[in-house]
Chain A
């Protein structure tokens, strides 16, 4: 199994450009989520989804959009990139977190730089 696959691994954008970070999992996980990792800040939740067609905001949702049209995919869209969005982004998935001892499986991360 591939687990959680994120693309691209690295990306440089100019302010105002748009892009999509892709996340796909092949474990039939209902729960998928996006985090950003900034120095001294820990992992902060951007958006999450508990199933196809259902998404919700996390701690830091501003400037990001998500959709969940299939169980496998959970793309993160930056509509107009800003330097404050320079970060490392992680996608993570699990079976329903409230249905038992279900841990998060993380992707390899995507490093985004906005100039």
Chain B
């Protein structure tokens, strides 16, 4: 069982603020890292798949970076909007096996 940690556990920001959170994973035997957005009463939806050290992905106001050598990924949201309120999950897959290991998520609330 691998340890994937996300911080902070929860975050409240004002509309228009930029924010970021962290996903930490084992730095050895890396294969891929996924980010998912999970709104209340819905299913997780994919944001990014990251596979290479130094990867940077962007979708609108949301972006992510990856550092496989030190075992972390950052998710950034620029100019947060109320509709960004959700739990953001990361999932790690190692170099062997076919298992995804999920973090416990960061719950983001954007206050209008």
Contacts and interface: CB of A to CB of B under 8 A. Distances in A.
The 5 closest A-B pairs by CB, nearest first: A103-B46, A106-B43, A42-B104, A101-B49, A43-B102
Interface stretch (A13-21, A44-52, A63-71, A72-80): A44-52
A106 to B, nearest CB: 4
Interface in A81-97: 90, 92, 97
Contact of A59 (B1, B31, B103): B1
Contacts of A90: 43-44
B98 A103 contact: no
Contact of B99 (A41, A42, A48, A107): A48
B31 A98 contact: yes
A5 to B, nearest CB: 11
B1 A104 contact: no
A107 B98 contact: no
Interface in B87-107: 89, 91, 93, 98-105
A101 B89 contact: no
For the side of the interface on A, what is the size category? Answer: 20 to 34
Interface string A15-51: 0000000000000000101010000111111001010
A101 B51 contact: yes
Contacts of B42: 108
B43 A41 contact: no
A58 interface: yes
Given A101-B49, A108-B43, A109-B43, A41 B104 contact: yes
A108 B109 CA distance: 22
B43 A50 contact: no
19 contacts: A35-B102, A41-B104, A42-B102, A42-B103, A42-B104, A43-B44, A43-B102, A44-B102, A50-B98, A90-B43, A97-B32, A101-B32, A101-B49, A101-B51, A102-B49, A104-B36, A105-B46, A106-B43, A107-B43
